[in-house]
């Protein structure tokens, strides 16, 4: 039997009265049906915190509150604070990127201190993140499998130390647009981690062939690799991928100017490759991608070329790999 109840916080210190409308389960589960008929006065005397936290509040009430509402509820009383902290401790996912403009460093510190079951953390474009709070979060949540820190440019490699040492089940790592990621950071990952399957290193300008080759040699389960806009990367990295990452399925090397046809040819050793992005790679000829497409029907190749200026056309220069713009009259001559 389900009955509709209205619960009110009676704490006199609260600035207002907080009403929570929800469905109330049988108060006497396992008893006779006649015992489940309670008087209206009994229901009205109950408070929100009298309900079962794990089976009722955590599952059917708190998930519908926004992050701001959770912190407002936390401020009502010590009992409500304990309720919210208990909810945080059981959470499996935490996405603070949705609150990047509203959340403060102090609020995130509360989350970092009271979560211990997270498997996924999304912190993209969050300017309030600090090394100390992230280190606490990674230390308290050893079951993390997915971590996104895209475009968090103000952090340092020290923030990742507890993640590397403590979270052995990490599978997805997104550090896109993080200029502070260094070769030493990747070497530490390669030394302590074994289960990575997806990495994003786009626009991490400090990375080069040496660190990437050593990194990929430690992860035979790698399936998704994205390191677009790295102009220091050459064919060596692609050959390392073809050698060590046989399960590779998705590769993005867009705008990597030092990669040539030789590196793409080496990817033929990856039998599971499905998506290859080589847009704006100046060292790759369009004929090479066309040939790969014809040889491997399973591979979807994205190859966008820069449009020439009006009255100009593109000509391939084999001795100096890259696109060279020429006036149409000069090319015809």
Give the DSSP per-residue string, 86-101: HHHHH-SEEE-GGGTT
- For 273-278, what is the mean pLDDT? 91
The count of other CB atoms within 10 Å of the CB of residue 234 is: 20
Q: Is the pLDDT of residue 36 over 60?
A: no
Reference 207, options 191, 190, 184; nearest CA is 184
Dihedral, CA of residue 189, residue 193, residue 194 and residue 199, to nearest 10: -50
Read off the pLDDT of residues 188-213 as tens digits, 9 standing for 90 and up: 999 999 999 999 999 999 999 999 99
Q: How far is 200 from 147, CA to CA, in rounded Å? A: 11
- For 68-79, what is the mean pLDDT? 94
Dihedral, CA of residue 13, residue 17, residue 19 and residue 95, to nearest 10: -60
pLDDT band at 45 (very low <50, low <70, confident <90, very high): low
Give the containing element (helix H, strand E) for 120: strand 120-122
- For 306-333, what is the mean pLDDT? 46
Q: Is the pLDDT of residue 133 over 90?
A: yes
Quote the pLDDT of residue 46: 73
Alpha carbon distances (Å) from 196 to 153, 161, 227, 283: 22, 16, 15, 29
Quote the pLDDT of residue 313: 53
Alpha carbon distances (Å) from 172 to 119, 164, 230: 11, 12, 20
Q: How far is 48 from 6, CA to CA, in rounded Å? A: 9
Average pLDDT of the residues of the chain: 81
The structural domains of the chain, ordered by start, are: 171-307 (3.80.10.10)
Share of the chain above pLDDT 90, in %: 62
The count of other CB atoms within 10 Å of the CB of residue 303 is: 19
Q: How far is 88 from 72, CA to CA, in rounded Å? A: 14
The residue that leads in pLDDT, 20 or 283, is 283
Q: Is the pLDDT of residue 11 over 80?
A: no
Quote the pLDDT of residue 2: 31
Cβ(113)–Cβ(88) below 8 Å: no
Q: Do the bridges between strand 19-24 and strand 3-8 make them parallel or antiparallel, or are there none, so unpaired?
A: antiparallel
Q: Do the bridges between strand 19-24 and strand 172-174 make them parallel or antiparallel, or are there none, so unpaired?
A: unpaired
Cβ(208)–Cβ(182) below 8 Å: no
Alpha carbon distances (Å) from 138 to 92, 131, 164, 317: 13, 11, 9, 50
pLDDT band at 48 (very low <50, low <70, confident <90, very high): confident
Provide Rg for the chain, Cα atoms: 27
Share of the chain above pLDDT 70, in %: 75
Quote the pLDDT of residue 77: 92
Q: Is the pLDDT of residue 148 over 70?
A: yes
Q: Is the pLDDT of residue 231 over 50?
A: yes
The residue that leads in pLDDT, 299 or 331, is 299
Q: How far is 234 from 215, CA to CA, in rounded Å? A: 15
The pair of structure tokens assigned to 34 is 């006649």
Q: How far is 1 from 17, CA to CA, in rounded Å? A: 28
Q: How far is 46 from 55, CA to CA, in rounded Å? A: 17
Q: Is the pLDDT of residue 20 over 90?
A: no
The residue that leads in pLDDT, 273 or 2, is 273
Q: Is the pLDDT of residue 105 over 70?
A: yes
């Amino acid at each position: 039997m389900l009955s509709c109840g209205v619960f009110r916080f009676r704490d006199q210190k609260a600035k207002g009265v907080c009403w929570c409308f929800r469905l109330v389960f049988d108060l006497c589960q396992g008893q006779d049906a006649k015992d489940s008929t309670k008087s209206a006065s009994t229901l009205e005397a109950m408070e929100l915190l009298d309900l079962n936290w794990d089976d009722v509040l955590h599952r059917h009430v708190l998930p519908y509150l926004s992050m701001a509402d959770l912190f407002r509820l936390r401020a009502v009383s010590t009992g409500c604070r304990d309720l919210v902290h208990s909810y945080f401790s059981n959470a499996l996912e935490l996405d603070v990127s949705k609150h990047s403009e509203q959340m403060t460093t102090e609020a995130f510190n509360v989350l970092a201190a009271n979560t211990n079951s997270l498997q996924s953390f999304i912190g993209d474009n969050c300017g309030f993140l600090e090394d100390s709070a992230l280190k606490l979060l990674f230390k308290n949540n050893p079951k993390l499998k997915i971590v996104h820190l895209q475009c968090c440019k103000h952090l340092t490699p020290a923030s990742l130390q507890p993640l590397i040492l403590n979270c052995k089940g990490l599978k997805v790592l997104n550090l896109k647009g993080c200029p502070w990621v260094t070769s030493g950071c990747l070497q530490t990952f390669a030394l302590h981690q074994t289960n990575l399957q997806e990495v994003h290193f786009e626009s991490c300008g400090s990375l080069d062939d040496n660190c990437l080759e050593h990194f990929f040699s430690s992860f035979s389960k790698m399936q998704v690799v994205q390191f677009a806009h790295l102009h220091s990367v050459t064919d060596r990295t692609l050959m390392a991928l073809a050698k060590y990452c046989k399960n590779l399925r998705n590769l993005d090397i867009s705008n990597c100017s030092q990669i040539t046809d030789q590196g793409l040819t080496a990817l033929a050793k990856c039998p599971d490759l499905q998506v290859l992005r080589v847009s704006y790679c100046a060292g790759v000829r369009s004929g090479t991608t066309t040939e790969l497409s014809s040889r491997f029907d399973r591979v979807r190749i994205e190859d966008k070329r820069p449009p020439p200026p009006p009255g100009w056309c593109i000509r391939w220069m084999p001795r100096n790999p890259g696109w060279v713009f020429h006036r149409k009259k000069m090319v015809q001559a």
